[in-house]
Structure 1
Amino acid sequence: MKKSAALFVYVWPEPRSSAAGIRTHELARILQSEGYEVQAYSGCAANEAMAEWEALGVKCHLAPSNDSAVEGLLAAQDPGLVIYDRFVMEEHFGWRLRARWPGALHLIDTQDIHAIRRARERMLKRGAAPHELKSPSEEDLGEDLLRELASLHRADACLVVSSFEKEWLIGQGYDARRVHHLPFSADPAAGNPSYSERTGFCMLGNFRHAPNLDSVNFLVREIWPALREKIPQAALFLYGAYPPAQVSCLDGKKGIRVPGPVVDHRRALQKHRVLLAPLRFGAGIKGKVLEAWACGTAVAGTPIAFEGLSPEQGVGLGDEFLARAFALHENEEDFISATRQGKSILETSFTGEAVRASLMGFLARAFHERLAFRGQLTGRMLRLQQNNATKYFSLWIEAKNKKGPTG
């Protein structure tokens, strides 16, 4: 009998728009290569991203979260593995799926720890110093922490992309056996252009992701004018999906170009000497950094940009960042040293084969231990209390929707 996996995704993944989309596609691709039939479910409407995934052999289903009609769809399947794309999908579907598929391994792919990212954003807005952002307090984390940890405890296990976040979760009392560090993969490209064949700077990221938009605004306002004064001939290219008007209007001004979304981001990165990543908050690991390294592009970034990858490479914003960006662009030795280091890091820990082997090894162990994980007291209490609350709230929403606005 063919193995089956069910992925519940918040939106249909867009690998050309975000690292999150690349990640979800990679998980499905690994499972397919290991003989799994992969089924994907989302409450989002059918769109081009869904069609592209189906073309890759993933069977996609429209599955509203607050509608019992989805039971008929689920009844036809019996997967051995259920993956929730971020904790919110466990909140939406976990109670229903655990009852429907009790024998499966239920796993949350966190993408990043949302509570950390949101806390850091709040801390930045209230004027916290950069070094304070690494370890938010419980007060800064607030209810986001409780909500996310509750979801992780209800599931059997979880995946995190950052080694920092694995240790952080363990520090919050989460069982080390139930959290697995599984980063994105990024195999180095062949035939990357040399230093002399490149020019200028770039940024890459989905502009709907708050840390990316904040970093662009900060760069354009605080860093780029001084950097352009030092290197007048250099240009800055802003690549990424969904640029808002405030970014698009920069195109053609003060050495800035805004191509927006690109079909082949690696080809775009290979044109430039330096990727700028002046991220002031965020969580997880940065796909843009991995992809820059894979393309032989040097990276000037903050500690947040390099978190979980190579923290010692991060530099503070201001004069330190400006000096690093200038040196990587103007000094060939600095450029070569940085790109060689990046390639070495990829080849050590981030190859596609390393990620595949790591995932499959963890799945085998976690499936064997899933009943022991479920027996832990915290998870049992949360599944009884909070999970039932989620269940009946969902049923209430369904009943309310059936009544209509005047019911």
Structure 2
Amino acid sequence: MKKLFVIGHTFPEPSTTAAGVRMMQLIDLFREFGYQITFGSTASAMEKSASLEEMGISVESIQLNHPSFDALIGELDPQVVIFDRYITEEQFGWRVAQTCPEAVRILDTEDLHFLRKARELAIKEGLSVSEANVYTNLAKREIASILRSDLSLIISETELDLLQDQFRISSEILFYLPLVTDISILQQAESPGFEQRSHMVTIGNFQHAPNLDSVKWLATEIWPGIHEALPSAELHVYGNYAPQQITQLHDQHTGFHIKGWAQDVNKMMQNARLCLAPLRFGAGLKGKILDAMRNGTPVVTTAIGAEGINGKFPFCGAVEEEPGQLIEAAIRLFSNENSWNMARDQGFNILRNRFDLRLFSETFKRKLEVLNNDLHSHRNRNFVGQVLHQQNLQASKYMSKWIELKNRF
């Protein structure tokens, strides 16, 4: 049986983060492909972490800058290793390459961190996200990690285009694999209708800067206009790890309710008539929008929120940039049943045509088989990656050895 070793910066929390959903989807795919899976992390499992061991997945605690990792991965001898973001590849990639040189090394980018950070900085400086400077030191680190890896999983077509067109990275080491949905369980006919729903929702993990900014923007510039036009409507704000600056926005009189963690995202979305996602910056795909579409809930968002979602298909609601436009779109979709029904149906159509699991699983499986069967030729075609790996291996190796000795004494 083939073996997969996943190195996680943290344990996946699929009930609180899109990154957690993503990791569990990857794990499910490899289980379907027949792999025996081990998950390792330097972090500890949290209250809302997925119960990996109950799924038959082995869990290992690993240490930074410690030879015990070499012994562990040598004993596991995996055919495939996944790093859950560029940081884990920086920390452990050289050790994997040294101990298990025949293992396929896969980087799951989740989203491009350097793109998200560049856009965040642009907003803070009063610029548009299109003016964001992506040629940063963080970009150098993340792109170096992509080049060192045998394959990088890219979640958004926008990011795929950026890497190929702007940074000239070969398509051979990139693979588009978005967040996916099992369309066979999509119950469009059973989705609650317009009259069965009430209020609006937004959701997002508050350790993620775009979500924090979005809710503050909602509270100060968007919700007051919606509340004035729809005084009986409420906005329910869901998300784990809310800091005081978010909890203090709770206002019973204006219908702005901070609800905390959503135990059942699907039920929460199905009860709502509209999802608000006014994101001013960010990257990748937005899990909240995919959740909304899956549950028949129209969405009002920005171009950043809609990025990579609808492709050539009509969006599942409205995409606007200015607070006034967002307010008008929310009022229209919340109040007009015909517009609401059209947006709901467009969401289901997007899922069927762009995020159906069956569109990607077999193609990804074949890509893995090609890599496993012809890894040396694949690496030779990405010779720059080999050069970077050689340089990084030596630098990381001797720094790590220095830290090992320092800790010992």
Unaligned runs of 5+ in 1: none
Q: How far does the alpha carbon of each residue in 1:132-152 deviate from its partner, in whole angstroms, 9 at most, with x for none?
A: 25xx33xx4310111111111
Superposition map of 1:227-246 within 5 A = 227-246=226-245
Structure 2 CA distance for aligned equivalents of residues 367 and 382 of structure 1: 21
Q: Report percent identity of matched pairs.
A: 34
Counterpart for residue 149 of structure 1: 143
Q: Which moved more, 1:156-165 or 1:356-365?
A: 356-365
Counterpart for residue 360 of structure 1: 365
Q: How far does the alpha carbon of each residue in 1:322-373 deviate from its partner, in whole angstroms, 9 at most, with x for none?
A: 1111111111111111111110010112123334234223222333443233
Structure 2 CA distance for aligned equivalents of residues 112 and 282 of structure 1: 9
Decide whether aligned partners of structure 1 residues 50 and 296 sit closer, same or farther in structure 2, where only a CA change above 3 A counts: closer
8 Å CA contact 2:14, 2:49 repeated in 1? no
Q: What amino acid does structure 2 have at the position aligned with 1:179?
A: L
Counterpart for residue 162 of structure 1: 156
8 Å CA contact 1:187, 1:294 repeated in 2? no
Q: What amino acid does structure 2 have at the position aligned with 1:300?
A: V
Structure 1 CA distance for aligned equivalents of residues 251 and 51 of structure 2: 33
Say whether 1:298 aligns with 2:303. Answer: no
Counterpart for residue 192 of structure 2: 193
Query: Aligned to 1:340, which of 327, 345, 352?
Result: 345
Counterpart for residue 402 of structure 2: 396
Structure 2 CA distance for aligned equivalents of residues 45 and 402 of structure 1: 23
Secondary structure of 1:52's partner? coil
Q: Which moved more, 1:43-52 or 1:262-271?
A: 43-52
Decide whether aligned partners of structure 1 residues 129 and 291 sit closer, same or farther in structure 2, where only a CA change above 3 A counts: same
Counterpart for residue 7 of structure 2: 8
8 Å CA contact 2:73, 2:100 repeated in 1? no
Counterpart for residue 58 of structure 1: 57
Counterpart for residue 388 of structure 2: 382
8 Å CA contact 1:182, 1:358 repeated in 2? no
Structure 2 CA distance for aligned equivalents of residues 39 and 48 of structure 1: 20
Counterpart for residue 287 of structure 1: 287
Deviation at residue 46 of structure 1 after TM alignment = 4.2
Q: What amino acid does structure 1 have at the position aligned with 2:356?
A: T
Decide whether aligned partners of structure 1 residues 193 and 24 sit closer, same or farther in structure 2, where only a CA change above 3 A counts: same
Structure 2 CA distance for aligned equivalents of residues 215 and 374 of structure 1: 42
Secondary structure of 1:357's partner? helix
What is the count of residue pairs matched by the alignment? 397
8 Å CA contact 1:82, 1:104 repeated in 2? yes
Secondary structure of 1:321's partner? helix
8 Å CA contact 2:11, 2:50 repeated in 1? no
Counterpart for residue 28 of structure 1: 27
Q: So what's the TM-score if we normalise by structure 2?
A: 0.93
Q: Which moved more, 1:347-356 or 1:283-292?
A: 347-356
Q: What amino acid does structure 1 have at the position aligned with 2:168?
A: G
Deviation at residue 174 of structure 1 after TM alignment = 0.9
Structure 1 CA distance for aligned equivalents of residues 261 and 50 of structure 2: 19
Counterpart for residue 181 of structure 1: 176
Q: What amino acid does structure 2 have at the position aligned with 1:154?
A: R
Secondary structure of 2:212's partner? helix
Deviation at residue 273 of structure 1 after TM alignment = 1.0
Q: What amino acid does structure 1 have at the position aligned with 2:32?
A: S
Secondary structure of 2:240's partner? coil
Deviation at residue 49 of structure 1 after TM alignment = 5.1
Q: Which moved more, 1:192-201 or 1:41-50?
A: 41-50
Deviation at residue 40 of structure 1 after TM alignment = 0.6
Counterpart for residue 318 of structure 1: 323
Q: What amino acid does structure 2 have at the position aligned with 1:250?
A: L
Q: How far does the alpha carbon of each residue in 1:250-282 deviate from its partner, in whole angstroms, 9 at most, with x for none?
A: 334320112211221111011111111100000
Decide whether aligned partners of structure 1 residues 386 and 75 sit closer, same or farther in structure 2, where only a CA change above 3 A counts: closer
Q: So what's the TM-score if we normalise by structure 1?
A: 0.94
Structure 2 CA distance for aligned equivalents of residues 302 and 365 of structure 1: 39
Counterpart for residue 375 of structure 2: 370
Q: How far does the alpha carbon of each residue in 1:161-202 deviate from its partner, in whole angstroms, 9 at most, with x for none?
A: 101111111121211111011001134642211011011111
Secondary structure of 1:141's partner? coil
Deviation at residue 47 of structure 1 after TM alignment = 4.0
Structure 1 CA distance for aligned equivalents of residues 197 and 191 of structure 2: 10
8 Å CA contact 1:9, 1:40 repeated in 2? yes
